[in-house]
Structure 1
């Protein structure tokens, strides 16, 4: 693949066309996401054959210029985004989304691709700003008072996170005289550099909704439309988590202080999110709190990974991100269909008597298997790699916390699945059986993909190994 900048240009061009041609937005969106997936597939093949791909923008290399760099980690994130992009676009094209959904969604796709490919901290900041503003728009699309309040909170948190990141980048430049990712290793050597890195990571913690700075996220994800919720939970939060992982990798052994803090916050988020999911009364809010717990697990995996040159535990975090994206997108789409069928999303009213469980319920159950981490899912493979490495390192306390988080995940997800499968009176008189729609196929496809990805985990793991080839 000769020009990886197309992965950024194509979605932004499609977003512009969708804004100008609202009546053609849906076919434009589907075409753009399919072409994006083909470009990502070509890039992954090129990386497997020849190693990382580097493209200086305008012919200028760092530290004077900006380059797009596609290594194995970036390729896995791009592939994750492309898969969810095609699936959600197919669901949105047959659903009742507003025309402006497409311009916001395609801008989100372009920002994510730019984020995963950038090797310059300031360019990453610009991509984050576009991503954050588009995500706020997606949150507000539902138009309800709850959605508008959640969008305002999202915007406020995003601005705070952006300010911290920008201050960290400015201090990084004053300390090192450069802002490419190679400067990260230099930041770990001194006091001012550590402050700069801490500011950047603090801003990313806010944007990733990592405990205890997750206050804005459950309301935002639970108030948005099903398609927007799927994108926000499956993809948008991964941008911040990806950059935290990238900074950890670039920092090497010198970033141990950063990883220790991440591990502690991640453990707190994993347990707090699971506890609130267990107490949630609405299905969509349960899934949103589940995202807080899963973000905590991924942050914990990044934190305990150690020096990437000495251990491959960081690959578990990348695999967990991939698995979570597929399963959580499927889950939010399934929740939307369940609410349409029952007329509500109250967990107490999920019992079924006259209606048999539909495809949405089965999609939710399959996605739950992956999020819990049962075999043969990719979630299981990611947790296996993580726990195996921790046992080898003698870190029994982290293993115990991960197992406790897994047990809590099983408790709140089985609570939903069991109600969908057992008999009982309906709370809503409007409950009805819905005909199969594209959204059902998409949700089942994503959930099954998360389930089967564990059997094909060698492919993403092989890609990840090229990051340090």
Structure 2
């Protein structure tokens, strides 16, 4: 079982690796800025595998030693700053390096400078920003104090925002400004909480704060402010006004980076706060509130995803739902008897879900980009024939969706088993219902898309479709291979023994029999097909039958439900509503944290 790094442990033999993991992307980004032209792409491609090797070495060191520590300047906290890697850090470092490497391979053919042109703004900026996001993520995963986490979070935000508006159109600039402004509000709340903690306890070191924080007014207000600020950056419902337009405007590689990794940075800090810094400040009311927001995100995001007409927006709203899925672990990890958050199966399940989602969702966004390039559009109703044009991309989308549904041998399947076990152990059956429903909804929009993709291409497409397909672009096999590799990785995470890094029993991996595997696969797909027919934008290809007549009232009700969810989503994504939601959530969470027996 993974254990936290001992208090004020001296620098370890592998501590230098922690610095190297941050230096590599920072140095590559700076070198790319100076080199200019086409060189940032070459520099980025050279740095990515090197960084992946370093993160694997860190994970190996954590597995053997229990943790790695590096004291900057040789000074121990609280005077100095320490970088620390535990099991959670190690797996997220490797995940980030692997996903960024795959995105880099995809972007090599997708975001490139045209022939005969010495330099172009968008490709040049993309590679610098990609390295900047990677540097920010590595710092988030390794930072040992709350102010360094703040700095890393800002690096991550300011590198991610320009990815939204690389095309430079008014719509993408507006989406980027919306993202920036709301993210800055979240940063202000987080920094306000950091200030309160420093004033009350005289240190920001994670290990030292864990020993000193108590349920004082300053600690409770800081916990509420920091948590809500991070939820705004993570785009948890109802604080998600920036996420759909950001994905709609970003290039496929940028969307993959935003969905797979950028939102995981703020999520990881929430995990650090609740499990490492202030586990004893959590209450039943607070954990139930956070998980209730997650459940609302699962329902709202899934319903709105089923009503989308564009593939990219469908994946964006499914990201909204999957973000909610991550927060279900908080109430399951709370020990009522100890009145504190506990590292156990629920935490392991949540982190496994985060890793599975990162790999699968990056694959799905890259696959959507390849489909768009091949067909000239991403309208779901006109995806017929995509399987022939880009079979690798379609396979990646399908495998990524299967992994997110939670089918064996995916990491999401093992994550779901751990979360369901935690729900049973704590007697919270209602969260088990939400967990199972999340898999069924994911299957619904997977079925909805694949049913269109595998239809034969029509001989007489609509005028709009014909116009879109007049000049489709070719799709390199390297792009499809990168997406396939990530999807396959997500689908194989359940086969790994995670006990050296995550708080699970040794040998915890997929061991289901063939019968159990078939049963676990059949019912979510069947339920998802039903939800797709009843709620999705499903146009029958044949004349109405008696069965269609029977289903008509149900489909009408399902369509009304989906339309209502879209209206609620539209209301929540208005600035006044989002601002009031942010304020109300901070107040309610503060009250919930104060509600102690």
TM-score (norm 2): 0.75
Alignment of 1:162-201 (within 5 A): 162-182=187-207, 183-184=209-210, 186-201=212-227
Number of the residue aligned with 1:17:
31
Q: Provide, for residues 401-455 of structure 1, a one-character-per-residue CA deviation record: whole Å limited to 9, x for no partner.
A: 2212221121112101111112352452317694542111100111111111222
| Structure 2, unpaired ranges of 5+ | 1-13, 113-122, 335-339, 506-597
Shift of residue 254 of structure 1? 3.0
Deviates more, 1:426-435 or 1:72-81: 426-435
Out of 257, 261, 268, the position equivalent to 2:296 is 268
Shift of residue 187 of structure 1? 3.7
Number of the residue aligned with 2:520:
none
Alignment of 1:46-61 (within 5 A): 46-61=61-76
Deviates more, 1:243-252 or 1:421-430: 421-430
Alignment of 1:32-431 (within 5 A): 32-97=47-112, 98-182=123-207, 183-184=209-210, 186-250=212-276, 251-256=278-283, 257-306=285-334, 307-309=340-342, 311-352=344-385, 355=388, 358-425=391-458, 426-427=461-462, 428-429=465-466, 430=469
In 1, the alpha carbon distance for the partners of 2:257 and 2:375 equals 23
Shift of residue 185 of structure 1? 5.9
Task: Give secondary structure in 2 for the equivalent of 1:281.
Answer: coil
In 2, the alpha carbon distance for the partners of 1:447 and 1:235 equals 15
In 1, the alpha carbon distance for the partners of 2:33 and 2:387 equals 44
Q: Is the 8 A contact 1:226 1:332 kept in 2?
A: yes
Shift of residue 357 of structure 1? 5.8
In 1, the alpha carbon distance for the partners of 2:241 and 2:457 equals 35
Q: Based on CA coordinates, which of the two structures has the bigger radius of gyration? A: 2
In 2, the alpha carbon distance for the partners of 1:397 and 1:210 equals 20
Task: Give secondary structure in 1 for the equivalent of 2:158.
Answer: helix
In 2, the alpha carbon distance for the partners of 1:219 and 1:347 equals 18
In 2, the alpha carbon distance for the partners of 1:447 and 1:389 equals 27
In 2, the alpha carbon distance for the partners of 1:111 and 1:62 equals 22
RMSD (Å) for aligned C-alpha atoms = 1.9
Shift of residue 95 of structure 1? 2.1
TM-score (norm 1): 0.95
Task: Give secondary structure in 2 for the equivalent of 1:141.
Answer: coil
Shift of residue 85 of structure 1? 1.2
Q: Provide, for residues 50-73 of structure 1, a one-character-per-residue CA deviation record: whole Å limited to 9, x for no partner.
A: 110011111111122110000000
In 1, the alpha carbon distance for the partners of 2:192 and 2:223 equals 10
Q: Is the 8 A contact 2:374 2:475 kept in 1?
A: no
Distance 1:201 1:310, change over 3 A: closer
Number of the residue aligned with 2:485:
445
Shift of residue 144 of structure 1? 2.4
Number of the residue aligned with 2:500:
462
In 2, the alpha carbon distance for the partners of 1:143 and 1:438 equals 27
Shift of residue 32 of structure 1? 1.1
Task: Give secondary structure in 2 for the equivalent of 1:178.
Answer: coil
Q: Is the 8 A contact 1:14 1:106 kept in 2?
A: yes
Distance 1:266 1:171, change over 3 A: same
In 1, the alpha carbon distance for the partners of 2:251 and 2:481 equals 18
Q: Is the 8 A contact 1:248 1:259 kept in 2?
A: no
In 1, the alpha carbon distance for the partners of 2:345 and 2:94 equals 20
| Structure 1, unpaired ranges of 5+ | none
In 2, the alpha carbon distance for the partners of 1:212 and 1:41 equals 36
Number of residue pairs matched by the alignment? 465
Distance 1:355 1:71, change over 3 A: closer
Q: Provide, for residues 73-105 of structure 1, a one-character-per-residue CA deviation record: whole Å limited to 9, x for no partner.
A: 000110110100111111112223411111111
Task: Give secondary structure in 1 for the equivalent of 2:206.
Answer: coil
